[in-house]
Amino acid sequence: MREKYLWLVIAALLLLLSGQSCYIYEQRAAAGERGGPPPLQPDIHGQLYLEKSRDAQWEEFEKWRDRVRAQLGRGDPLLEKDFDIFFNDRFFSGKFSPFTEMERLRREMAGQLGGSERLLFDDYWDKWFGQRMRMGRFSTDISRSGGHVTIGVSVPGLAADTLDVDISDERIKISFSARTGSEREIAGGVVKKESYQSYVKILPLPADAAPGTGKVKAEGERVIIRFDIKKAGDGPF
């Protein structure tokens, strides 16, 4: 008899625990319906913005491409301004890797041209790219120490009062004038000629440079640009 009553007590306890569990579950479910966090939804507005941004960029590229093709078809040269008008500050802003995007568009453009037009375009592109992106006789070096990454640019003949350095999160734009000189021997002496030429150079930010921390100073014919090094968690190096 005792065993029978014992089993009855155990069964009653199990039924009670089961009822309490169901009640708690129902209360939590009801609370979730009333005020719990909503289920995750796709960021439709963000996706639409990105799509519109890409569409706008592609439209700009198509307009620029048609203009370039028309100039090449007429036999008109492509000047620096013809590239600068598209690869401008707007192009470099808001892109994770604008220099990679630039190369992709160059290949896209060249792939749509044929024969002599492609050769002409590549030639004009190389001249413009060399003028804007390659430092040429203006040597650069990068060093890292004390939590900083430093870019040094040596500019022979730099006119310090013409120096302008504009730094964004994606690129460094350096505008300056530099003195060039030449000598020519003539009867009875040497003739020296000097002139100034203006330059605009565009450099990518070092991958480990923290955006917004750039500081610039000029020391004679050397331009020094110093950034803080990114800390862990600030983004990919």
Domain termination residue (choose one: 132, 162, 183): 132
Residues 6+ apart with CB under 8 A from 125: 78, 83, 106
Going by C-alpha positions, the residue among 96, 90, 78, 197 that lies closest to residue 137 is 197
pLDDT of the residue at 6: 46
Residue 168 within any structural domain of the chain: yes
Residue 26 within any structural domain of the chain: no
Question: Which backbone phi and psi does 25 adopt, to 5 degrees?
Answer: -60, -45
Q: Which tokens belong to 119?
A: 């050769």
Shared domain for 149 and 168, answered yes or no, is yes
Shared domain for 145 and 69, answered yes or no, is no
pLDDT of the residue at 50: 40
Going by C-alpha positions, the residue among 215, 199, 235, 220 that lies closest to residue 156 is 220
Residue 205 within any structural domain of the chain: yes
Q: Could you report the average pLDDT of every consecutive run of 10 residues in the chain (237 residues)? A: 49 50 49 47 44 64 90 91 89 76 90 88 93 87 94 93 92 91 67 82 91 93 95 62
Domain termination residue (choose one: 83, 114, 132): 132
Residue 96 within any structural domain of the chain: yes
Helices (H), 114-222: 116-132
Q: Which residue has the tokens 């350095």?
A: 165
Shared domain for 148 and 125, answered yes or no, is no
Domain coverage including residue 202: 140-228
Predicted TM-score (pTM) of this structure: 0.64
Asked if 170 and 98 touch (Cβ cutoff 8 Å), the reply is yes
Going by C-alpha positions, the residue among 92, 79, 195, 207 that lies closest to residue 142 is 207
What's the number of domains the chain is made of? 2
pLDDT of the residue at 154: 94
Domain termination residue (choose one: 132, 150, 177): 132
Q: How far apart are CA 121 and CA 125, in angstroms?
A: 6
Going by C-alpha positions, the residue among 96, 63, 97 that lies closest to residue 82 is 63
Q: What is the CATH number of the domain that holds 188?
A: 2.60.40.790
Shared domain for 146 and 216, answered yes or no, is yes
From residue 190, give the alpha-carbon distance in Å to each of 60, 157, 158.
Answer: 53, 20, 24
